[in-house]
Structure 1
Amino acid sequence: MKRTALGLVAIGSIATLGLGSSADAANIRSATPAANGVLAVAPATYAGQMASAAKAADGTAKAIGLGPKEKLVVKSVITDRDGTTHTRYDRTYGGLPVIGGDLIVRRDAAGTIVDTIWNVNAKVSLAGSLAAGDDAKAKANAVKHAAGKKQNGHAIRGAKATKTSKAVYLHEDGTSTLVTAVQTEGIADDQTPSTLVVWVDSASGNVVSSDQKVKAGSGKGIYVGNVSLSTTSSGGSYQLKNPSTGNYSTDLNQATTGNGTQFTDADDVWGTGTNSNRQSAAVDAQYGADATFGYYKNLLGRNGIWNNGSGARSRVHYGNSYVNAFWDGTQMTYGDGSGNASPLTELDVAAHEMSHGVTENTANLNYSGDAGGLNEATSDIFGTAVEWNANLTSDTPDYYMGELIDINGNGTPLRYMDKPSRDGRSYDCWSTAVSSADPHYSSGPLNHWYYLASEGSGAKTINGQSYNSPTCSGAAAVTGAGHTNIEKVWYRTLSTKLTSGSNYKTAREGAINSAIELYGASSATCTAVEKAFDAIAAPKGTATCSGGTTPPPTGGELVTNGGFESGTTGWTGTSGPITNNSGQAAHGGTWKMWLGGNGRTTSENESQSVTIPSTSTSATLTYWVHVDSAETTTSSQYDKATVTVTPSGGSASTVASYSNLNKATGYKQVTVDLTAYKGKTITLKFSATEDSSLQTSFVFDDVSIKA
């Protein structure tokens, strides 16, 4: 903003502006001052201040030198302890709103203008009719513009024009343009709503500018670190409430009853990452709730706890030194830990609690016997799953629960999934003794099953963590099928197979049938599910897979959902790139993988693991790629993308590289020989990074590996 001093200009008609009547003046003098010197006034007093400022607006406009067609519209009045007022105005020109015309006028206690803070210090001047322009063309161009934008790094889908109006756009250089303001509505791939207002030049039809009205805030939590948050703008401040999901967070202030106080913030930057700032724990809880909501919807097709799109409340700072967190049927609640020094708001814990709500509204598993263990394990499984899906650098994904909260005081996790008995209390294997154990310990066998089915048995290092998962009663070794596949199997089991009193036998039966339904009886996933239940000694039923170790036939397709028409199915990575947004065309169908396109510093990736049969005579990777860029250089690589192949236990090999220098119209097909990897499980990964400005889009589609 530009600040200009206008001298001491007295405006007689508003000498008592901010005081109103003598009664109002008394109210102001007796009001309680805030620490920053701003007076907190009664609602009636504030209404009087606004009315007085509005009455004096024409005189103020003249005093600060506005033109004859320009008017001031009062937005707010702030009164200091010493009687100084700060009145915020919008401008109109010929009755049209002036975009960029806002300003603040400061007066001393006597009503004399001290200075004015201008957004743009210029008069508005336009020639011709204020009704000119083609609204239909403006709407079409606005929708096209919105479709090419991203909301907080995520592509906007389904953009449509909902409102149009005329306005004047005041540029930073002081010039003015008659524009058509088009409000577009859509939704980003991460479920953040988009309300993008696009200003289109009424004469040329060109987009002048745009503004996202749904602000994605940011915060620093104790465990999640710096993350983006979807918050709600309200009354000049922000609420820690996601406008899309309805998830919100409150401060219980160590109480044990009540809803708590809604967290609000003036600048939409929340927390400091330390426990001394009460917002920090709320950032963890809010991020956890939103990440869990997104995981269930995007990967499992469930629209929140109740599957109706509704969010839930997260209450933090519960009780005094409360070392736990819980779900009570309507909300998640988090204690601050021993000495109120370690809030239990770690991401996997937050997802664990929210998942109790999902269980309650699906199988509604009892909290005793085998069912109690299945109940707790379900929350551990999906708590771990959300951590893997979020893939935060501050909370590296692993197969532990609560590893950051140090609940034991010695740096060890709350629970281990590779070998649950490492905590000294949980069971690795099922036996009749399990049903009489505490659900947190009878959960051990199913947690063990999840790890085995995902990663397999034996010693290995994953994400820098060492694991060594045993099998029970001499069971055969297990080969994992990937945690995402197993999570889908277990969710289907929970939502379509289990009842309140289910036990480990019915869980085994349901999971094998779910794997058959999702992946086929001869799939590697079905085999992993069945063999992992064998490995925890779960009682057998009648369900069985039929040879999941048989390699696919030569010439068969190995990639799941390579055309992306089933959304993210089969793929793991950053939330957002797999989209049917119209901003970039797909090669085939409507969905594609769109990496980049943000115009700011970002890193995105998507990957999938496949096994190339040892009996294959050849293996070929093919895909289509299109590169679009706003970069103008012909020599510097500012934005880059790679395609890599990594064999299990081996190093990544880059099979293709791209940059902004590869921008071109249309798609081109790429073929890569992967025969050298036959008999191996490989991870195919597409990655992209952008620098701080000017977007480059790397769009991939119709990915195939045939062997």
Structure 2
Amino acid sequence: MKNKYSVATLLLLGGLASTTAYAQDYSRVKSQELREDGTPALVQFKAEGNAYQLSNARTALREQLGLGSDDQLLQLKTQADDAGFVHEKYQQYYKGIKVEHATYSVHARQGRVESISGQFEKVRSLNTTPSIDASAALTRALSFVGAKTYMWQDAAEEVYLKAQENDPSATYAPKGELVVVRDMRSANPLKAGKPTLAWKFNVYAQSPVSRAFIYVDAHSGDVVFQDAIIKHAAATGSFATRYSGTQSSTTDSYNGSYRLRDVTRGSGVQTFDMNQGTNYSAAVDFTDANNSWTELNNTAFDNAALDAHWGAQAVYDYWKNVHGRNSYNGNGAAIKSYVHYDRSYENAYWDGTRMTYGDGATRFSPLTSLDVCAHEIGHAVCSSTANLTYSYESGALNEGFSDIWGAAVEYYKAPSKQTWLIGEDIDKQRPSLRSMSNPNAEGQPDTYQGTYWATGSGDNGGVHTNSGVLNHWFYILSVGKSGTNDKGNAYSVAAIGIDAAAKIAYRTENVYLTASSNYAAARTYSIQSAKDLYGAGSAQEIAVTNAWYAVGVGAAASGGGTTPPPPAPATYCTSKGSNVSYEWLDLVQLGSINRTSGKDGGYYNGTATSTNLAAGSAQTMYLSAGFASTAYSETYDVYIDYNQDGDFDDAGERIISGSSSSSATLSASFTVPTSARSGSTRLRVVMSDNAATTSCGSYSYGETEDYTVNITGGTLANQGVAATSTGAAPAALNGDNSAFGQAVTLYPNPASDVLNIALASKAPAVSATVTDLRGARVANVRFENGQLNVAGLANGVYLLTVSDGQKTFHERFVKQ
């Protein structure tokens, strides 16, 4: 039997002379955390002395894992991140045969190996010559699945797959791969795990639908493990969506009409109609004559397709703009959605290739809500990162991370929705499928092995139930919480905000977790991720640790489980720009707060960064905008919650206000009122292209950033809530040549027929040109007497360049 990789092609990290494992070298080890089987989960190295260099990564792995001559590691990939790390990931082999779910990573910075982490299997004296061949094993696998029909038996689906993959040899028919895998037939996978030689098959059943990797013991013929690929959710046109109101969404013009296809994001976002069938090859396009998709609220629920298409675009944008990830696989993969699957089908799933949505029946409405879409594509992200096995604790983590991404995408794109509920838009019978803020409300545990913890083998070991622990950890980490968990442990966790929490969660999933990771590993690796991103001993690391303590995993950080809960912190409204394609905040400087940055997805939580402000002191703040190309007129508003009552509505709390069309550094001076309340409070900076933007809510173009200021010497009493006494007008911006205030006013905006143009300088506008978002000049507009005739334009967003003969200004307008 010839294996996929011969021993000669592997990076042989063990010796060839002896089967004896190397003795582990602890002389360079700073700390080590072990898995339940005694193998290292995370090894951190000393910075001083004879440190491992990245060029000697193989030596580090050989010495720290105690590799023998039968153990090999093949380098899978190398990636660098924004924190300055280089990560090399290796796949384990035993005698040249792949060991499933066993990968190990080397993490280096500035050429020095700082740590290694992952899952290494102790395989010893395993007979690697199979007793049954792949054909016999496949018969056993299909008997185990027991489907009526399989995808490879459908000729149309086979033809469609070949065309889709542009590969004439592509087929759904399973091909056997010889691997080493843990025998997971024990009810408790943590106690199971004898390494077994097995045949691995990717079995896609058409009726009833399922898709999973099936592992068949290559000696006995028994099925020893099943890893589901389809992860069930337990259950630009103008779009009148079913669940998210009117939205703008990219489509394409084709053959005289428009269809739900978008070529601007990665390799595309495409949405198809299955007409209540089950054959993907028979799916057709949704089309609209005028790209105003307002007539689909019909008995066939066609408007659900608009949610699926817009939702997939929102998911792509979230991963690209927030985490720098190009589609779910990081390489621009197309996102395909298939709506109206089967009749009365109460599910939605990712099958490893595409999204599939049922129309629901008695329990659900069509399952195309934004958080469900983000959840399911989150499974695709997991497959390309940690690839968490879909059973027991690793499966619960898989489900939990998908819920995290459901909440994060909803917060990013639709913050007015209920971020911490999953499936609230589609559930007919209950408030939601799951609650991240109160998992018990939907029958999930909020504490590890606490109330509602699932112990049986049903639902792949309780993956949809026990995910509540990770969900609640993320919620507590984001918003903070004090209380007592099911183990009787009192906790207090400071909030770090959903954006910082998501960055830590993503790094945990993308860099550190492996296929068989459990809750203990998630705790270890998320703490390490917080250290990587924010520094050892940071507020974020402490909060991550204490949030795990709050849900019953591990010990608290210093003070996180013993001190009395502090007074409840003020809860501030959300403020976020929906689009940073053209402008964003790139400098915020006040005292020791000095942050230069690129795009932050419309909002940045910098509350872990602070500066001290003395009551009565004069201060100068510096701000600037970054622009993708053209510099537009932007409005800046800066707020400080001087009386710490959780809003910015009191007199004098808007400290700076003004507008500028410059990318240069702007400045403004203000005085901290003596009546301010001493202590930590919120600083909010809002930059928007709309002068009507307030301190709360979402807006179209621009960005919001939040920070902390510590007021000293204030006279407001430290209890109760009172307004500040100052009624001073906000300071104006300096540093720009344009007149203070909005340089150009456009009205009405949006416009249907005529757009009026008024310059703040009172000078007449002598010329005006219009370009679309691609930068192409639009010819069918007429400008005269300060008015632009836009009646002939298609609906959408346009860029206006207007001149008074000396200065040129740029603004956006919407044609509707």
Q: Does 2:576 match 1:573?
A: yes
SS at 2:321 equivalent: helix
- CA gap of 1:352–1:700, structure 2 versus 1, over 3 A, is closer
Structure 1: give runs of 5+ residues left out of the alignment.
1-215, 459-467, 550-570, 596-603, 629-637
Q: After superposition, give the CA deviation of every residue in 1:293-323 in whole Å (9 maximum; x if it has no partner).
A: 1111111121111111122111111121212
Q: After superposition, give the CA deviation of every residue in 1:365-421 in whole Å (9 maximum; x if it has no partner).
A: 11111011000000000000000001355xx242111111124x24x1111111211
Deviation at 1:626, TM superposition (A): 7.9
Structure-to-structure mapping, 1:193-212, within 5 angstroms: none
Partner of 2:90: none
SS at 1:575 equivalent: strand
Tell me if the contact between 2:577 and 2:704 (Cα under 8 Å) persists in the aligned partners: no
Deviation at 1:217, TM superposition (A): 1.9
Partner of 1:219: 239
- CA gap of 1:258–1:478, structure 2 versus 1, over 3 A, is same
Q: Does 2:507 match 1:503?
A: no
Partner of 1:488: 503
Partner of 1:652: 648
Q: After superposition, give the CA deviation of every residue in 1:326-349 in whole Å (9 maximum; x if it has no partner).
A: 110011111111159721111111
Tell me if the contact between 2:639 and 2:655 (Cα under 8 Å) persists in the aligned partners: yes
Partner of 1:239: 259
**How many residues align structurally?**
430
The amino acid of 1:428's aligned partner reads D
SS at 1:451 equivalent: helix
Tell me if the contact between 2:577 and 2:688 (Cα under 8 Å) persists in the aligned partners: no
Instruction: Work out which of the residue numbers 669, 673, 698 in structure 2 matches 1:671.
Output: 669
Structure-to-structure mapping, 1:684-699, within 5 angstroms: 684-688=684-688, 690=690
Aligned partners of 2:366 and 2:703: how far apart in 1? 42
Q: TM-score, with normalisation over the residues of structure 1?
A: 0.54
- CA gap of 1:293–1:609, structure 2 versus 1, over 3 A, is same
Instruction: Work out which of the residue numbers 219, 243, 248 in structure 1 matches 2:270.
Output: 248
Aligned partners of 1:527 and 1:585: how far apart in 2? 28
Aligned partners of 1:502 and 1:627: how far apart in 2? 41
Instruction: Work out which of the residue numbers 418, 423, 426 in structure 2 matches 1:402.
Output: 423
Aligned partners of 2:284 and 2:242: how far apart in 1? 20
Q: TM-score, with normalisation over the residues of structure 2?
A: 0.47
Aligned partners of 1:278 and 1:667: how far apart in 2? 51
Instruction: Work out which of the residue numbers 596, 601, 607 in structure 2 matches 1:610.
Output: 607
- CA gap of 1:455–1:293, structure 2 versus 1, over 3 A, is same
The amino acid of 1:285's aligned partner reads A
SS at 1:476 equivalent: strand
- CA gap of 1:704–1:497, structure 2 versus 1, over 3 A, is closer
Tell me if the contact between 2:311 and 2:370 (Cα under 8 Å) persists in the aligned partners: yes
Tell me if the contact between 1:271 and 1:279 (Cα under 8 Å) persists in the aligned partners: no
- CA gap of 1:488–1:691, structure 2 versus 1, over 3 A, is closer
Aligned partners of 1:703 and 1:416: how far apart in 2? 27
Q: Does 2:435 match 1:416?
A: yes
- CA gap of 1:469–1:645, structure 2 versus 1, over 3 A, is farther
Partner of 1:7: none
Instruction: Work out which of the residue numbers 623, 637, 640 in structure 2 matches 1:642.
Output: 637
SS at 1:642 equivalent: strand
Tell me if the contact between 2:321 and 2:599 (Cα under 8 Å) persists in the aligned partners: no
Partner of 1:429: 447
Aligned partners of 1:404 and 1:307: how far apart in 2? 29
SS at 2:337 equivalent: strand
Aligned partners of 1:577 and 1:346: how far apart in 2? 24
- CA gap of 1:702–1:500, structure 2 versus 1, over 3 A, is closer
Partner of 1:18: none
Where relative contact order (Cα < 8 A, 6+ residues apart) is larger, the structure is: 1
SS at 2:329 equivalent: coil
Q: Does 2:706 match 1:682?
A: no
Q: Which has the higher helix share?
A: 1
Partner of 1:114: none
Instruction: Work out which of the residue numbers 301, 307, 327 in structure 2 matches 1:284.
Output: 307
Tell me if the contact between 2:399 and 2:464 (Cα under 8 Å) persists in the aligned partners: yes
Tell me if the contact between 1:324 and 1:344 (Cα under 8 Å) persists in the aligned partners: yes
Quote the sequence identity (%): 33
SS at 1:521 equivalent: coil
- CA gap of 1:234–1:361, structure 2 versus 1, over 3 A, is same
The amino acid of 1:324's aligned partner reads N
- CA gap of 1:680–1:273, structure 2 versus 1, over 3 A, is farther
Tell me if the contact between 1:316 and 1:335 (Cα under 8 Å) persists in the aligned partners: yes
Partner of 1:93: none
The amino acid of 2:337's aligned partner reads S
Tell me if the contact between 1:606 and 1:686 (Cα under 8 Å) persists in the aligned partners: no
Tell me if the contact between 1:644 and 1:655 (Cα under 8 Å) persists in the aligned partners: yes
Deviation at 1:292, TM superposition (A): 0.8
Q: After superposition, give the CA deviation of every residue in 1:616-661 in whole Å (9 maximum; x if it has no partner).
A: 7579672235899xxxxxxxxx99653233477522144246467x
Tell me if the contact between 1:222 and 1:281 (Cα under 8 Å) persists in the aligned partners: yes
Tell me if the contact between 1:526 and 1:548 (Cα under 8 Å) persists in the aligned partners: no
Structure 2: give runs of 5+ residues left out of the alignment.
1-235, 562-573, 628-632, 693-699, 711-816
Deviation at 1:669, TM superposition (A): 0.3
Tell me if the contact between 1:399 and 1:418 (Cα under 8 Å) persists in the aligned partners: yes
Deviation at 1:285, TM superposition (A): 0.6
Tell me if the contact between 1:592 and 1:700 (Cα under 8 Å) persists in the aligned partners: no
Aligned partners of 1:699 and 1:530: how far apart in 2? 34
